[in-house]
Structure 1
Amino acid sequence: MSPSNTHLPPRNRGGAIPKPRLPKKKKKKKSAFKSFLKLLLIVIILVFLAVAGYLGWVVTKVDNTILDTGVDTPVAPEASAKIKPITMLLLGTDYRPKTGTHLTDVMMVATFNPDTKSATVVSIPRDTRIDLDGYKVRKANAYYPTFLEAEKKSGITAQDEMKQMFTKYLGLPIDYVTVINFQGFSDIVDALGGVDVNISMDMCYKDKADGTDIDLKKGPAELNGEDALGYVRYRHSGPGCKPRTKESDDFSRNQRQSEVLHSLIDQMQTFSGATKIGSVLDAVKDNMETDLEKAQLKNIIATYWNISKSNVKFVPVTGEWKSPFVYINDDELDNAKQALMNEFAGKSAETLDQSTNDTNP
């Protein structure tokens, strides 16, 4: 045999045949996708813990805030806003430290329904002529300051007087009234980081007496609190503006109020908006008065915090301007009253349309 035969294993002096060497196992590379999932899971857990802790802080913040705003009386379980529709009068006064006035430039009546998680809001033009038995004929926005002056003599709060008057005017019971001044509105917008609107025309108005300085240009814009206030208030131009801008009637003002409210709803329902709720509550605390019970305010926040913008219906009420009043269109006022009653009953516009079609031959 030839010693050069390479098919045989080499001889070992110790006589033992060595074990053949196995090929080394290659280490498996970690899946990039699995690593990403693990990282994502960690991030989700951290976010969840942060949000959970934040929500706990919000609950504490709400409790502390409404101690200064809500009424300290209990709410019967059957009257809770979580299960019962409620109607509220919302008033925005022109009060600012520089003016000291209390004209209600914004007047809205809103009905909320917890079953449908929806709301119907009716805006009343500020110059509306109101002629009711037992009340002197005035512009709608002049009643609140009049009632404030009479509080000491009458023993009835201005809020209760406004509730009674609008209950009679609209023909449906109003449960609560909330008054917020212009400074509060401006602070809320700033707390949310501004509000997005689409300005329909140039607006300019300057008044040195109260510091009003409205200078807005047509087109999409993000407004801070002061500019947003000017946007919803603007009526006409003045001598301080060159060139002067077009006038705006009460009906256009109501449309702009609705636009801003919708935009604020959008802001509040973003994650960024939710994290700013503390600042919003601080803005509300110092600038709002309400006869809502503390527990009821909590019920409303819990029930309608995530209300969809599409579930907030704004019903316009217009009329004819004959200085110094707006004479409301009776048909539109009747439609607005019916819309509020339908909301209270949980009847959506779609349901009403369908029932109307079913009854038609």
Structure 2
Amino acid sequence: MSDSSRGTRRRGTDRRRTGAHSAGTAPYAPATAGGRGSDRPPGGRAALRKGRKRRGGHRALKIVGLAMAFVILLAGGAAGYVYWKLNSNIKSDDLSANGKDGAGHEKADAFGRTPINILVIGSDGRTDAADCKLGGACKTASGQRADVEMVVHISADRSNATVMSVPRDLRADWDGCHDDGHRSMGPQHDQMINAALAGGPGCSVVAVHELTGIPIDHFMMVDFSGVVNMSNAVGGVKVCVSADIYDPYSHLKLKKGSHVLQGDAALEFLRTRHGFGDGSDSEGRTVGQHVFLTALLNKLKDDGTLTSPSRMWKVANAATKALTVDNSLDSVTKLIGLGTDLNKVPTDRVTFATLQTASVTVNGVSELHLVNPGASTLFKTIADDQSLTTASGAKAAPSAAPTIPPSTIAVQVKNGGGVDHRAAVIAAELVSRGFSRETTSGDGPPSTTTTLSYPAAQQAQAKSVASALGLPAAALKQSATGTGIVLLLGTDWPTGTTFPGGKAPISAADQKSALTGTNSQLGSAKGACAQVSKFNDVIGVDASGHVTTSDHPRHSTSPSHAYAISPRVKDSAP
């Protein structure tokens, strides 16, 4: 042990038919001279009729059995066809463009459970005529980029989930990507993160992982036509807008109130950038996406789609056609397993949030950069599998602040587990969580179990320490020596800053930091309206509401005013 005492700043038998008769059954008499076929059973005609009836009964049973077997075979064949059909729809690719370690690795808890982090990508690639028609600008489009990127985090215990949107224009750095079948690229610096998709979905995984530090376990990518087909398969999604809205760039045009969107209208809603929030990439686009996904999530759960074979066939067929997934999700059973995990999470424990960013002018150009410490705290919250909701679904962290400020609680951390520097690591974690800078680390007696001892008068302080580190109640021991709070680390806690099987709650300060500026909402927010932007951010609209060319006068207007001056433009949905 090398933690010296110091202050710290942080299966019938096969019965074959033989010549023998069954027990209790008289053998047929052999033929005799002058006799007429004496192969009748004893008992005369009555017995003969009975025997024929019995044999007829057996024959009927055989026919029924064959029929049933035929039906089963047909059903099995149909199921097999469905399974083959859905599997053949699925396209897959490498998870990471930088080898097996390029996406990070999850750590299992004491029960062998791990969180699941999925990068959901909406591609703007115009790879066929359908996508060209839907996306437009095929002649000027340069390569494949990510219109949408979301990290979907499902907790290890499947009790909660966080959906974090990553704005497409965010500036980021990532290592080079060299994935078979995709364009290679060297190390990137200060580039828009959506450009990573040019190196394949595995490159987007690399970029997001390196930006956030969050391990990425899977990706799911969908293109323009996929969004249209999937929205049709579910029968449309009901959304609400707070005011009249027209965005001539995405072509979304809706009157104030609720609408059922499917087909092109669904795509327009998801792609609009100038219509909602502040009209920016970081907020305008993600506001609509979160409202749409919340409505979709509740629709699938409420209308029985997940338990209806006919409805599920339509959705599964559309989804498997639309998706490109990583190689570990390349079968229907695997996708169903993933969907089952997500379905376990109550909607009021799903938090939608947009990564904190801000526009910064660099050499006269507006660029989107991270806003810290909020962004870093949000990343750490997801990476550490901390919930952003309480068990009741409330947004708030602990309902009340601790009565004793952590900053007044000093802990003596002792290393008894034999792992170098463990005491220093845990002491630093306590300090980073707001505990006293008088917290120390050092060597302790060898121990197989981790204990937290405390004087009787400091029980409340000890409970605060235990809560912060995810220690079980059994680890707390009242001490008669009165030497302060002492944390003795045992061999049962060799790595990590949260006790195995435990979960340190997010502090009120960290939760506030993680959610501030994210425009967060819960998955249970049914009927919530997407707030239409009031900014004059719709540029290039003439009196008919059409986008003008550079040869015509231009002016800026709000989405609502653009709707008002565009009577000849058809609404996206009634």
The TM-score bracket by the shorter chain reads: 0.5 to 0.7
Distance in 1 of aligned mates of 2:305 and 2:404: 45
Closer, same or farther in 2 for the Cα pair 1:327/1:218, shift >3 Å? Answer: farther
Q: Which fold has the larger relative contact order, with Cα–Cα distance below 8 Å and residues 6 or more apart in sequence?
A: 1
- Structure 1 residue aligned with 2:236: 194
Distance in 2 of aligned mates of 1:85 and 1:316: 20
Q: Is the CA contact 2:194–2:204 (under 8 Å) kept in the aligned structure 1?
A: no
User: Structure 1 residue 141 and structure 2 residue 194: aligned?
Assistant: yes
Instruction: Tell me the CA shift for residue 296 of structure 1.
Output: 3.4
Closer, same or farther in 2 for the Cα pair 1:70/1:181, shift >3 Å? Answer: closer
- Structure 1 residue aligned with 2:314: 279
- What SS does structure 2 have at the residue aligned with 1:172? coil
Identity %: 22
- Structure 2 residue aligned with 1:19: none
Closer, same or farther in 2 for the Cα pair 1:257/1:168, shift >3 Å? Answer: same
Instruction: Tell me the CA shift for residue 307 of structure 1.
Output: 3.5
Q: Is the CA contact 1:130–1:137 (under 8 Å) kept in the aligned structure 2?
A: yes
Of 351, 365, 372 in structure 2, the residue corresponding to residue 313 of structure 1 is 351
Q: Is the CA contact 1:318–1:329 (under 8 Å) kept in the aligned structure 2?
A: yes
Q: Is the CA contact 2:213–2:383 (under 8 Å) kept in the aligned structure 1?
A: no
Closer, same or farther in 2 for the Cα pair 1:285/1:324, shift >3 Å? Answer: farther
Instruction: Tell me the CA shift for residue 117 of structure 1.
Output: 3.4
User: Structure 1 residue 69 and structure 2 residue 90: aligned?
Assistant: yes
Cα deviation, 1:124-155, whole Å, max 9, x if unaligned, reads 1111111346313221222212x1xxxxxxxx
Distance in 1 of aligned mates of 2:201 and 2:222: 12
Distance in 2 of aligned mates of 1:59 and 1:204: 47
Instruction: Tell me the CA shift for residue 341 of structure 1.
Output: 2.2
- Structure 2 residue aligned with 1:49: none
Distance in 1 of aligned mates of 2:297 and 2:342: 11
**Which amino acid in 2 is paired with 1:178?**
M
- What SS does structure 2 have at the residue aligned with 1:248? coil
Of 160, 175, 179 in structure 2, the residue corresponding to residue 118 of structure 1 is 160
- What SS does structure 2 have at the residue aligned with 1:116? coil
- Structure 2 residue aligned with 1:350: 390
Distance in 2 of aligned mates of 1:102 and 1:183: 15
- Structure 2 residue aligned with 1:289: 324
Distance in 2 of aligned mates of 1:257 and 1:72: 25
Distance in 1 of aligned mates of 2:303 and 2:82: 17
Q: Is the CA contact 1:316–1:336 (under 8 Å) kept in the aligned structure 2?
A: no
Paired residues for 1:207-226 under 5 Å: 213-226=251-264
- Structure 2 residue aligned with 1:6: none
Distance in 2 of aligned mates of 1:91 and 1:118: 21
Q: Is the CA contact 1:89–1:107 (under 8 Å) kept in the aligned structure 2?
A: yes
Instruction: Tell me the CA shift for residue 91 of structure 1.
Output: 0.6
Distance in 2 of aligned mates of 1:246 and 1:302: 33
Closer, same or farther in 2 for the Cα pair 1:347/1:222, shift >3 Å? Answer: closer
**Which amino acid in 1 is paired with 2:286?**
N
Q: Which runs of 5+ in 2 are unaligned?
A: 1-74, 95-106, 126-130, 176-186, 392-396, 407-574
Of 296, 299, 306 in structure 1, the residue corresponding to residue 337 of structure 2 is 299
Paired residues for 1:167-182 under 5 Å: 167-182=209-224
User: Structure 1 residue 327 and structure 2 residue 369: aligned?
Assistant: yes
Distance in 1 of aligned mates of 2:319 and 2:344: 19
**Greater alpha carbon shift after TM alignment, 114-123 vs 320-329:** 320-329
Instruction: Tell me the CA shift for residue 254 of structure 1.
Output: 0.9
Distance in 1 of aligned mates of 2:341 and 2:80: 14
Closer, same or farther in 2 for the Cα pair 1:135/1:248, shift >3 Å? Answer: same
TM-score by length of 1: 0.66
- Structure 1 residue aligned with 2:293: 261
Q: Is the CA contact 1:342–1:348 (under 8 Å) kept in the aligned structure 2?
A: no
Distance in 2 of aligned mates of 1:334 and 1:358: 27
User: Structure 1 residue 248 and structure 2 residue 279: aligned?
Assistant: yes
Distance in 1 of aligned mates of 2:215 and 2:337: 20
Paired residues for 1:78-93 under 5 Å: 83-93=113-123
Instruction: Tell me the CA shift for residue 260 of structure 1.
Output: 0.6
Instruction: Tell me the CA shift for residue 355 of structure 1.
Output: 9.6
Aligned-pair Cα RMSD in Å:
3.5
Q: Is the CA contact 1:320–1:328 (under 8 Å) kept in the aligned structure 2?
A: yes
- What SS does structure 1 have at the residue aligned with 2:336? helix
